[in-house]
Amino acid sequence: MLDIEGADATKVVLVIGIMTLHSFGEGSGVGVSFAGSKGFSQGLLVTLAIAVHNIPEGLAVSMMLASKGFSPQNAMLWSVITSLPQPIVAVPAFMCADAFSKFLPFCTGFAAGCMIWMVVAEVLPDAFKEASPPQVASAATISVAFMEALSTAFENFSHDYSPEDASGFFVSLLFGLGPLLGGFILVAFALAFHLQHALLMGAASGIAFVLAAWRPMQLLVYSKMGFFPLVFLLALGAAFVHVSSSSILKIAGRKKASVSNLPIVTGFPMSVHTLQSFLSCGAVAFHALAEGLALGVAAPKAYGLGRHMVLPVSLHGLPRGAAVASCIFGATDSWHGALAAATLIGFVGPVTAIGAILARIDYSGLDHVMVFACGGLLPSFGSIIRRGVRLDTRRGGFGLAVGVGFASLCLMCTKLVCLHTPYCNSAPEAVR
């Protein structure tokens, strides 16, 4: 696996060794935190903080190995190996918390010193060989700023958090599972049954129309919003998205080289229809943002650290991921792109939910934001279904029916599963 020789091999072994030693200190911190005064909630928060902290660490190891000629698979494997001591050390650290807590400052200090030496003696000299000093300085400044911002955010949160906040944090992260699973399911069916573009576009539109109607219908049925304000917000959201999308398409259309190609927009040829599909996914992302805000208010009120929320939260996100994956797959015929889009949409909800928890926002006004976002789905996917019907009326209509059925089933199951919990459909009665 280490298929390099000489000085490069020595540097690689040194970096991997130091990053592995660094993981021992982090694993000890995880174990000791679970044995602390606040128990599971404190341990969960520390674990999540270290998990996020590991992302730039893994990137650093992978990029360094890639620069030495490692394949992407081997670079990824070694970045995982360097973090393996964390779960291994966490268990004995939890069992012998008193002993490990005494050595923890020395372990973390030693690991920090090793990493500083590695950066100054090995990484920076290599960087100056490959790039100019201003480029290296800019990259280092941006990296330090990002890590400091991340550290400050977690430090501020840890000073004034409660078990309820830890519960909300956990449930918010789970909110990203649904879209990812929905994307996987859609792509698997599309590849297995060779689904046509018209059917995929119809399915995406059917799902989006159900998502657009679900929350407004709830508010209307339960008399939580008047008919005319609801219709006004839906129309306002639809007009906003329609005007924005039309403006972007017009700007892109001025640069097109032919009827269907937009070579300057993204650096590679892209059809107007593909750009329209991406804009529709943007409307889904805005809808996910609104639901994420509501989840951020509701999730901390879920008892039992939200463990009972895995199923309903995942079910609720399935249609969103399937809609985005279907839309992108139908436009680009790329299953990689479809999965990537579903994954990105999956990040929107958790990020906004965590932001809502940190900002301590309340529920007032969120129903209006939700209805506005629901209105934005209508014109976006109205154009998608029109295109699907033009390609093949029968398949487009069948896809529309399948999408409506799938989304309705998922949302009804969510409603049934979470009837007796503090959270249901992103707008629980418990937070009213």
| Secondary structure of 270-315 as H, E, C letters | CCHHHHHHHHHHHHHHHHHHHHHHHHHHHHHHCCHHHHHHHHHHHH
In the predicted structure, residue 386 carries a pLDDT above the cut 70: yes
- Other beta carbons less than 10 A from residue 216's beta carbon: 20
Amino acid letter, 179: P
The Cα 352–Cα 370 span in angstroms is 13
Least confident of 114-128, 187-201, 331-345: 114-128
The distance from CA 156 to its chain's CA centroid, rounded to whole angstroms, is 22
Confidence band (pLDDT; 50, 70, 90) for 84? Answer: confident
Q: Which helix (H) or strand (E) covers residue 400, if one does?
A: helix 393-417
* Beta carbons of 331 and 196 less than 8 angstroms apart: no
Domain ranges of the chain: 6-160, 171-431
Over the stretch 223-271, which tens digit does the pLDDT of each residue have?
889 999 999 999 999 999 999 998 888 887 665 544 444 444 444 346 7
Confidence band (pLDDT; 50, 70, 90) for 421? Answer: low
Mean pLDDT of 107-131: 76
The Cα 271–Cα 241 span in angstroms is 20
Left, alpha or beta for 223 (phi > 0: left; psi -120 to 50: alpha)? Answer: left
What Å distances lie between residue 120 and 56, 62, 124, CA to CA? Answer: 18, 18, 6
- Better-predicted residue by pLDDT, 207 or 40: 207
Residue 239: strand, helix, or coil: helix
Q: Half-sphere exposure of 158 toward its Cβ, with a 13 Å CA cutoff?
A: 17
The Cα 99–Cα 94 span in angstroms is 10
Q: Which helix (H) or strand (E) covers residue 49, if one does?
A: helix 39-67
Residue 392's Cβ-count burial label (10 Å; 0-12, 13-18, 19+) is middle
- Other beta carbons less than 10 A from residue 63's beta carbon: 11
Q: Which helix (H) or strand (E) covers residue 327, if one does?
A: helix 310-332
Supply 218's token pair: 């709830």
The Cα 375–Cα 397 span in angstroms is 22
* Beta carbons of 349 and 175 less than 8 angstroms apart: yes
Contacts of 34 (CB under 8 A, 6+ apart): 40, 42, 43, 46, 90, 94
- Better-predicted residue by pLDDT, 200 or 44: 200
The Cα 43–Cα 49 span in angstroms is 10
Over the stretch 301-337, which tens digit does the pLDDT of each residue have?
655 545 556 667 777 889 999 999 999 998 888 888 8
Q: What is the pLDDT of residue 350?
A: 84
In the predicted structure, residue 285 carries a pLDDT above the cut 90: yes
Q: What is the pLDDT of residue 151?
A: 66
- Better-predicted residue by pLDDT, 290 or 76: 290
The Cα 146–Cα 136 span in angstroms is 15
The Cα 399–Cα 385 span in angstroms is 9
Please list the alpha-helical segments (H only) found in 160-226: 163-174, 177-193, 197-221
Confidence band (pLDDT; 50, 70, 90) for 163? Answer: low
Contacts of 54 (CB under 8 A, 6+ apart): 26, 83, 86
Residue 164's Cβ-count burial label (10 Å; 0-12, 13-18, 19+) is middle
